Structure 1
Amino acid sequence: MGAHLVVGGGDHSDAVTARVVAALGPGTPVVRPPHRAAPADPVVVAIESQLDRILAALDLPAPVVADLIATILPRDLPDLLHLARALARARADGHELVVDVDLEVARLLDVPQRVARAFAAFVPVVARWEVLVAPEGIGALPAPEQPVLTALREGAELLEDLDRALADPTMTSIHLAAPAGPVGAARRADAEVLLALMGRTLTAVHPVGGSGVEHLPSPAPESGPRVERTGEQWLLRIDVPGVRAADLELVRHDDEIVLGCAGRTRRVLLPSVLRRCEVERAGIAGGVLTLTMTPDPAVWPRG
């Protein structure tokens, strides 16, 4: 099973989507969701119903509240959750999924990871509300209702699954059918940068009047971070196709590596074996970022 996403918002998206379906062959079971507005998602409904009350109880400044709402409930969250659920259903049924995604390509590739992290960060606050926010003797703040906690957990799981699918070329093919002109060029640049930070490239790019998909390419045999032991050191290899060393920003933040390029960022969770190591040096060759890491004496167990 694979998902085939046509992104970019060009006028020829329908034609490219039809060609993707045709290229899969007549014997392939295909799910192609109809073009209609996604219904209200239960995760969004549950969080929206109490978010204002929760944030008001925390007595946060108005600008902070506005930023939190924009982070937790972005405008395209219902569409992203709808896509995540469609991917899960198709995977469970063993069907190919073909979707003309009516979202800005940059937001499709960037928002799921960011919102999943925001949901996950809010879970312990809601789960331990009385201990963390309103301990006994401080005051009786209205506790969030249980459906909010369930919605945060479900939303985080759905968006994490969607983010993994978008980053995995064995799970999704991404076809860019952007409009002509500067808008299309900007969307292609965004897509290429964000996908490079995910370790992958576009499956295909379709200009206006192009012939569409003639075949569906095979996915790369290897994807995701790879770990190798060399003597007393560890090597972590992360694919960043097309990114030059001079253009890449790299920061270690707790158990994550934050990659940045052209104003876009991506967080990569370190494999557990490397979380007690320090980054000694980094370099890019052939579209692969290699981090040389050594055990941190301050936290590494000593025999």
Structure 2
Amino acid sequence: MTAASTLASRVRSIGRGFAVTAAAGTLAGAATVGYGLWEKNQFVLREETLPILPAGQAPFRVLHLSDIHFVPGQNTKAEWLGSLAALKPDLVVNTGDNLSHAKAIDPLLKALAPLLEFPGVFVPGSNDYFAPRLKNPASYLLGPSKTKPDPVELDWPRLRSGFGMGGWVDLTNRNQSLVLKGLRFDFSGVDDPHLKRERYAGWPRGTKGQDSNPHLKVAVIHAPYQRVLDHFTEDGADLLLAGHTHGGQLCIPGYGALIANCDIPTWRAKGLNDWESKGRTTPVNVSGGIGTSRFAPIRIACRPEAVLLTLTSPA
């Protein structure tokens, strides 16, 4: 065999190796995407217990929903949302990003109708104001997403009105007290910190002498940026509820989230943890979210979730 034919043989061998490797990579990528498309519909209920109620109070159940990102035709998601009413929560808290399509409002309100029968509070996320846009999926890993120029506006006022007509309370840069199961809950909420729209309304002021009575201070936000968690922790919140992160959405089994889409540590991208600021500590529940952008409809090692928080009195 000549030197030339030997070289040609080696080149062909190397080429076959590259082809096999590329084919294997393509198959692995396709399998990963296929799994991610499957996992996005594997809805789960995460349950947590938190002993923060005043002594002697009966257990109180909070259903925390976030990042539904509804798209018309998502029948599996709609059925699952409706089924959550069987939990009979004492309160529903919705921390925003309900939409992912301009025509999603009516089917979303229909899906949530059974839950609108229960007391509820809500704040918006950026995807309640603006529709998502097609972009390079890899950009998600580069840091917190940014609002694009000339965003496509969604009909947030109509969705807000639908929630309000169902009896849920709008906490967008405002506060309100509700008496639920005989206990006063003081709520304070903000507009989406991801858009830098938060304005602090403080806590509701009780009638004369009422602040000495048992009550619970609950802060409701969409994106859990550190500046907002610091503010509410320092301002005496007993509980903070947030979403936005999707739990990382694309996670590594055994490691967790690669990004939180805000400035909290990635290990805080989902779950119930304590937040500390200036000597105060407040429990924070960050929901891993229920949906995805319609342009990135996959989840890896991060199943969509609702959260049922059972608040109890200390033992």
Work out whether the TM-score is over 0.5: no
TM-score by length of 1: 0.24
Q: Return the structure number with greater relative CO, CA threshold 8 A, min gap 6.
A: 2
TM-score by length of 2: 0.24
